[in-house]
Amino acid sequence: MKREINITQPEYLIEDWPGKYDVFSWLEYIVTVPNPIFFVTTRKENGAPNANLSSWGLLIGEKDNYSSLLALLDNSHTHNNILREGEWCVCFPSFQHYRQCFETIRLNQPDNDEITDAGLTVELPKSVRAPRIAECPVNLECRLEWHRPLYENSRWHLFAGRVTHLAMDESVMVPDPAERIQIMELMYNVRSTVHPMTGEQYGPNTLGILNRVEDIFGKQGHPKGSG
């Protein structure tokens, strides 16, 4: 039976870390729709590589407008770096590097090379100055088009940037999409859950990787087209 859920945050909800439901809507933990994990890489003011492990973001756009949409905390280095330099790269890491990914958060300092310090490798970009990450099989170089706060007084800031260049490892250029997804080992940010009726919370956030992609349309392709 489908229940209608009041979107007002219930008073009985307990934060398991201070400010949790200020930074994130409590609905994020009710809906639990995972987002893919990616890095937003930029240059710090001193030119050092900066990495922001992110999951609020999308790749969207038609024709020559393939674009990256990001939601960044307005106190992050990345927020300031993009406002200063107008560029970033989106780099998708594989599950095999999840430890290094989280190290970038622990080693987040104002002036250090976070990519190298975390055990990853800086790769030179082609069309921007923001660094790429060699271990990430898919890297999109992006140039800022527009930005704005999510809402007035929101601590989340949206950035849209046009993709100016793509670098992709040959190992993931596999024609079968199901196989490609297996090889890429994309990680998903799977939130801890909250029971919408009781507020009961379950567990810490977890990591997801897709382990099932079904070719349901076969050789005929999708009814509205084979793409």
Ligand X SMILES: Cc1cc2nc3c(=O)[nH]c(=O)nc-3n(C[C@H](O)[C@H](O)[C@H](O)COP(=O)(O)O)c2cc1C
Residues of this chain that interact with ligand X (CB under 6 A) are 37, 50, 52-56, 71-73, 76-78, 105, 108, 189
Retrieve residue 82's tokens: 């993009």
Is the distance from CB of 91 to CB of 46 less than 8 angstroms?
Answer: no
Which residues lie across from 88 on neighbouring strands? 142
Q: CB-wise, 59 or 71, nearer to ligand X? A: 71
Q: CB-wise, 111 or 176, nearer to ligand X? A: 111
Compute the least distance from the CB of residue 88 to ligand X, in Å: 10
What is the chain's alpha carbon radius of gyration, rounded to the nearest angstrom?
A: 19
Q: Residue 180 and residue 157: Cα distance in Å, rounded?
A: 32
Compute the least distance from the CB of residue 108 to ligand X, in Å: 4
Q: CB-wise, 37 or 130, nearer to ligand X? A: 37
Compute the least distance from the CB of residue 57 to ligand X, in Å: 6
Q: Residue 209 and residue 189: Cα distance in Å, rounded?
A: 9
Q: CB-wise, 36 or 199, nearer to ligand X? A: 36
Compute the least distance from the CB of residue 11 to ligand X, in Å: 27
Compute the least distance from the CB of residue 14 to ligand X, in Å: 21
Q: CB-wise, 182 or 189, nearer to ligand X? A: 189
Compute the least distance from the CB of residue 203 to ligand X, in Å: 15
Q: CB-wise, 150 or 168, nearer to ligand X? A: 150
